[in-house]
Each structure stands twice: as structure tokens, then as C-alpha cells.
Structure 1
Amino acid sequence: MANKHPKQLDALRAAQMYYLQDQTMDAIARELGTSRSTVSRLLSMARESGLVQIQIKTPADRAPELERAIRERYKVEVHVVPVADTLNEIEVLDRVCMQAARTITPLVDSNAVIGVAWGSTLSAVSRHLTRKTTHGTVIVQLNGAGNTQTTGITYASEIIRRFGTAYGAKVEQFPVPAFFDHAETKRMMWEERSVQRILDLQHRMTIAIFGVGSIDSDVPSHVYSGGYLDSTDIDSLEASGVAGDVATVFFRDDGTDAGIVLNDRSSGPSLADLRKIRRRICVVSGTKKIKGLRGALAAGLATDLILDESTARELVEAESASSDPIFGFLNSLEGL
């Protein structure tokens, strides 16, 4: 407790009294020696920073069962975000990323090295982050963002900057291409001391935060819509049976990546290196990303998964033929 910011301590005390002890805001104000309006702000702060997470349980709520099924099958911590079927893809993305931001903030500690990928999903997550004071924490860009049309610095740095601002952290950009023209060029660049400094930071990452790229998504993944891949690259990915990517490293729907030649030119961390990171938070929105999501889960890339209810339902239904009895049970539930 001693290392927490005083306002966070007050927010925590107010939340405990309000939610756990059923104290009124007037009673809390008297005990804390402050005003009722200040207590209201402290409670809002507690909710926005993730100290308090409110869950509404209804008989028709399928999210807990979906979470249990996904957790059992893929051995990940999972948060299913309930959304109405009437919402469009952009609205669903916003709801999922709001929940992701609230989930991520409590996990961020001082002296952490946090890797952040760029893309449509992480851009949305970064806009919902709330402030948390940390010390000695570093935000490092997971993969380069340059291509033949742009350095990518403006786009990627804005995402990284928002994370750094939210947590009072130092920011380290990775000013290299997303994909090199030649694998040999990448190998030589990786020997440069300025690049090795960033790579060393990446090897010390305690948390990695990323989305799953998909060419079929209604909200196009930036790697596919931003001029990073030409027609030859797309043909090569299709020939290799690629289902999606994480931080511009591609994989198939069974989680394998052997023989995907574009990965030799990618600036993102290899799947093996990504799996070494203790906490790996994957944020996914939209059922069009289901193939990529299944591939990422099959590859063991995520320890934590945040996704919308429709995508979670489709993920569970895709496994309904599994011999795992929990999936058979879920498939028999009305509405699944």
C-alpha cells in the first residue's frame, strides 16, 4: 500500500467502504474528512482504474459459461464482453477495447517492461487507458512500422505514447521497417548496437499486449490496409495457409509457422520469443478474426484473452465437436 499514490489509496478506501461495507457516500465523506462530491469522484476513479470491476449476473448471461469453456480448452484467463447483436463492428471494437484498458491497468506495475504492438485494436485500446502512476516502467514497441509509403513513426508512436502517458512510463520506439525487403538485410540490421538495445529490452518484457491481424476483418487490420503487403506477399501468405498474425509475425490456424517465408523478413518477435513473456494479453474483436484467433490460441501466444461475446460464442461452437464434455454441454445450451 505504501507505494500507491495517495489518491489511489483514497479511492481504494472509498470503494471498500461503499461496495463491501455498504456505507453511504455521506458516511464515507465524514470518515475521510472530505465532501460527498469528492467521494463520488473517488468512486469513479476506482471504477475507471480497474480497482473496482462491476459485473451484472442475469439468468440469460452466457458470458461466464463461455469464459469457462474457453479457459478449460485453451488454458487462458479470459474476459468475454457482452455486446448487443445490433452493434456494428466499430462499436463492438470500442466496447471490447474499453474493457481491455480496464483489465490491463491493474496488471501494470513499476519497473515493468511492457511490449505493445501497433494496429487498429491497440490504437483503440490506447484511447481508453486511464492514468496509473508507476516508476521505472518502460513501454517498448513490439515491431517496426515502416513501409515504402511511410516510416510508420507517427501512427505507431501515437499508440506507444498514449501507453507511456497513462502509466508515466518511458517510451522506446522501434524505428525499423515492419518487413525488410530481404532477410539478410534484417539479419545485418539486428547486429547494429542501436537495434540490439531495443531487442534487449524486448527480451526483458514482462507483459506483451497485442491484437490478432486478419485480412478478412470488417475493421481491417492495419498491416493489411496500410500498404505493408503487396500482391506478391498476399499470394505467398495464402499459399502458406496463413490465418492471421501477431505483431506482423504470421501463423496458420493450427498455430504452426514453419515455412512462412515472410516471417524471415518481419521485424516482430518470433512466436517462440513471444511465448517466453510471462504475461501475454490478446485483444480480439469481430467474428471475422476467428481463424486468426484460433491460430494464435493454438500457438499458445496468449495467457490472457479479451474478446466480444459473439466471437467467444463462435470460438466455442467451432470446438463443439471436441470430446471435451464442457463443449458438448455448452453446445446444448439454448442460444448457443
Structure 2
Amino acid sequence: MVERASSDPKVASALRAAQLYYLQDMTMDAIARELGTSRSSVSRLLSHARDTGLVEVRIHQPQGEELRLEEAIRERFGIAAHVVPAPRTLSDVERFERVALTAARQLPLHFDSNMTLGIAWGSTLDAISRHLPKKVTHNSTVVQLNGAGNTFTSGVDYASEILHRFGEAFGAAVQQFPVPAFFDDPRTKEAMWRERSTRRILDLQARADVVLFGLGSPFAEVPSRVYIGGYLDRADYRSLREEGIVGDVATVFYREDGSWQDIELNRRATGPGFTVLARASRRICVVSGIQKLASLRGAIAARLITDLVLDEDLAEALVDG
């Protein structure tokens, strides 16, 4: 779909090139002759049109392996899946980037004006934020779902950079959550949660229309930030092993059967409980790598996911398991 643009010269040129390429079926060489420019300049104009949201490319996939997996996931789990083709020759890092790019291109289909988007910081959201296309929205908000501070850093710079990219991509207001990822004492958290300034953010989180998250895992080749960023000490790791933890969403941990409420570390975690996340009508999980299969199964068992973006190998393992 090609949209109308403003009077900005670069935008106008990008729109003209996109109309000729996508609607008139002209080659880039023919467009270059018509616009009096080079083929490489036309390529850059088309990229600019896609990146700024002038053009939305949608693929209607015929019957094939990815579609078979998507249908199987929908039938078995009631989840709308988008399976990303990824040959087994790819490294986990390359697979991760491919899935993140796909998720970034899918998000504008689900987030629009007058909506609130909740995001859980982490390696996955960081990667997605770097690939977001532009989409202008109005009266929209991006809210941070969990704190990012620990004993080594406030986490503000890292989390705010991710939030800023989302806010800039959608023209949305950004609401940070400047608290630790984990409190030392659950009583401190309880007191903080009674503060009006904190309650304002918690209320925003609870009213989110869309939440976007990755799955933290201690087993993945692409490390989850919560496990490598100084957020957990030896006692915490021992507790996670003893309680059979397979992953976390927004620093709230869970087991493979989806249980989470009786996990001790969650009393100190600042991420929203899964009952809060479940209020969002669309809950988009982005995950890659076969090492996250147990994490994904647990998140599905917890009924956290309405939409899923994942790589082909992980989808196959999920369906076959």
C-alpha cells in the first residue's frame, strides 16, 4: 500500500518512486530515467519510503511450510503465529536478528492512534527498536513495563534509549518506570507501589492495549539481559534452579507449567504480574532459538501470548513437542 506524503522534497521523491515501482510496475532503471537520477538513488528512495511508512509491504503467503506451522500453532494453542523462514545454517545471532526485524515490521499493523503500548526492556526489544519503521500516530503512549536498575547501574540510559526509539517511530509519548528491576526487600516494593507517582505508571501498564515482550532464558545463545546484567546474585540463581524456572517476562519468572505466583523472587520483581498482562487485548511475544523452547512452552501455559513471532526451527519444535 502506498500512502500520500507531505511537501518535503525527499518524501515527495520517495513517494513518486514508490508509486512508479509498486503501482506502475516500472523497473528501477526506468524510474531513474524518469526522475533524472541514478539507479542507486532510486533504491535509496524506495528504502526511505518503506522505512518511513509511506509504503507497507504485506505478503499473502500461499500454502507452504511456514503456513503449515502457523496453522498448527493456531489450532493447538489458539495463538496467531508469524513464522520467520530461517535456514539451519544461520547462527542463533543471525536468526535472532531476522526475527526481530520481522517483529518490527509487524508491530505497526497492531499499534495505532489512541492506544497504549507496554514494552519490556531487554535484548529482544532492543533489537526490535533498531528496525522500527515510522508510523505517525496521535494520542498514543509507550510505557515501560519493568524497572531496569540494579546495584551496578540505574538502567535508565539503556531502558530510555529503547523507549525513545519506540516513541520516535510512532510519534508517541513515552512513560518511563524509574525503579529497580528487583527490590532487595519485598516490603520496600509494597511501600513504593502505594506512592501516587508509581501508581500512575502501574495504572498505565494495566490499561495497555498492546504489550510487546521477549522471553528471558538462562539457556539461550543470545543471552537474556536479566541473566548477564548483574541483576541476579548467586542466591537468586540457586533459588531459580530449585524452583524449576524456565524463563521470565519483564523480570517475572515462571515454570514450564505456567505457574508464577508462588515464586519467591517475583515478590521483589517490578514487572507486572501475568494477571495484569492478560488485560491487554493483544500480547505479542517475539522469540527465537531452539534453546528457548521450554521458555516458550511455559509462556503459552501461562496464557500470556495472543500473537507470536518466532523462527522456523523453534516453531517446528513447538508443534512436534
- Work out whether residues 4 and 15 of structure 2, in 8 Å CA contact, stay in contact via their aligned partners in 1: no
Corresponding residue of 1:133: 136
Corresponding residue of 1:292: 295
Residue number among 116, 121, 145 corresponding to 1:118 in the alignment:
121
The whole-number CA distance in structure 2 between the counterparts of 1:148 and 1:5 is: 48
Corresponding residue of 1:52: 57
Whether 1:259 and 2:257 are equivalent positions in the alignment is no
Q: Deviations over 1:100-145 (max 9, x none)?
A: 0000022221121111111111110011011111111111101000
Closer, same or farther: CA 183–149 of 1 in aligned 2, 3 Å: same
The whole-number CA distance in structure 1 between the counterparts of 2:201 and 2:269 is: 15
Q: Where do residues 240-251 of structure 1 align in structure 2 (5 Å cutoff)? A: 240-251=243-254
Whichever residue aligns with residue 308 of structure 2, its letter is L
Residue number among 75, 78, 88 corresponding to 2:78 in the alignment:
75
Closer, same or farther: CA 263–17 of 1 in aligned 2, 3 Å: same
- Work out whether residues 15 and 52 of structure 1, in 8 Å CA contact, stay in contact via their aligned partners in 2: no
The whole-number CA distance in structure 2 between the counterparts of 1:35 and 1:174 is: 50
Whether 1:212 and 2:187 are equivalent positions in the alignment is no
Q: After TM superposition, where is structure 1 displaced by more than 3 Å over at least 4 residues in a row?
A: 3-29, 33-50, 54-57
The whole-number CA distance in structure 1 between the counterparts of 2:300 and 2:45 is: 38
Shift of residue 54 of structure 1? Answer: 3.6
The whole-number CA distance in structure 1 between the counterparts of 2:191 and 2:247 is: 27
Instruction: Provide the TM-score with structure 1 as the length reference.
Output: 0.83
The whole-number CA distance in structure 2 between the counterparts of 1:18 and 1:159 is: 33
Q: Deviations over 1:8-45 (max 9, x none)?
A: 9998998788657857789999xxx9889898667545
- Work out whether residues 115 and 202 of structure 1, in 8 Å CA contact, stay in contact via their aligned partners in 2: yes
The whole-number CA distance in structure 1 between the counterparts of 2:173 and 2:31 is: 36
Residue number among 153, 164, 179 corresponding to 1:150 in the alignment:
153
Q: Deviations over 1:255-294 (max 9, x none)?
A: 1113201111110000111011111111001111110111
State the identity %.
Answer: 55
Residue number among 306, 314, 318 corresponding to 1:315 in the alignment:
318
Residue number among 215, 226, 243 corresponding to 2:229 in the alignment:
226
The whole-number CA distance in structure 1 between the counterparts of 2:89 and 2:60 is: 21
The whole-number CA distance in structure 2 between the counterparts of 1:10 and 1:313 is: 43
Closer, same or farther: CA 154–249 of 1 in aligned 2, 3 Å: same
Q: Deviations over 1:146-175 (max 9, x none)?
A: 111111111111111111111111111100
Q: Deviations over 1:277-333 (max 9, x none)?
A: 111111001111110111101111111100111111111111xxxxxxxxxxxxxxx
Closer, same or farther: CA 12–65 of 1 in aligned 2, 3 Å: farther
Closer, same or farther: CA 257–157 of 1 in aligned 2, 3 Å: same
Residue number among 300, 308, 318 corresponding to 1:305 in the alignment:
308
Whichever residue aligns with residue 53 of structure 1, its letter is R
The whole-number CA distance in structure 2 between the counterparts of 1:36 and 1:267 is: 54
Corresponding residue of 2:205: 202
In structure 1, runs of 5+ residues without a counterpart are 319-336
- Work out whether residues 14 and 39 of structure 1, in 8 Å CA contact, stay in contact via their aligned partners in 2: yes
Whichever residue aligns with residue 183 of structure 1, its letter is P
Q: Where do residues 263-282 of structure 1 align in structure 2 (5 Å cutoff)? A: 263-282=266-285
Q: Where do residues 15-54 of structure 1 align in structure 2 (5 Å cutoff)? A: 44=47, 47-48=50-51, 49=53, 51-54=56-59
Corresponding residue of 2:108: 105
- Work out whether residues 12 and 51 of structure 1, in 8 Å CA contact, stay in contact via their aligned partners in 2: no
Q: Where do residues 163-174 of structure 1 align in structure 2 (5 Å cutoff)? A: 163-174=166-177
| SS of alignment partner, residue 84 of structure 1 | coil
Q: Where do residues 325-336 of structure 1 align in structure 2 (5 Å cutoff)? A: none
The whole-number CA distance in structure 1 between the counterparts of 2:135 and 2:318 is: 33
The whole-number CA distance in structure 1 between the counterparts of 2:126 and 2:155 is: 13
Closer, same or farther: CA 199–6 of 1 in aligned 2, 3 Å: same
The whole-number CA distance in structure 2 between the counterparts of 1:174 and 1:181 is: 17
The whole-number CA distance in structure 1 between the counterparts of 2:171 and 2:117 is: 13
Q: CA RMSD in A?
A: 2.9
Deviates more, 1:35-44 or 1:280-289: 35-44
Closer, same or farther: CA 237–196 of 1 in aligned 2, 3 Å: same
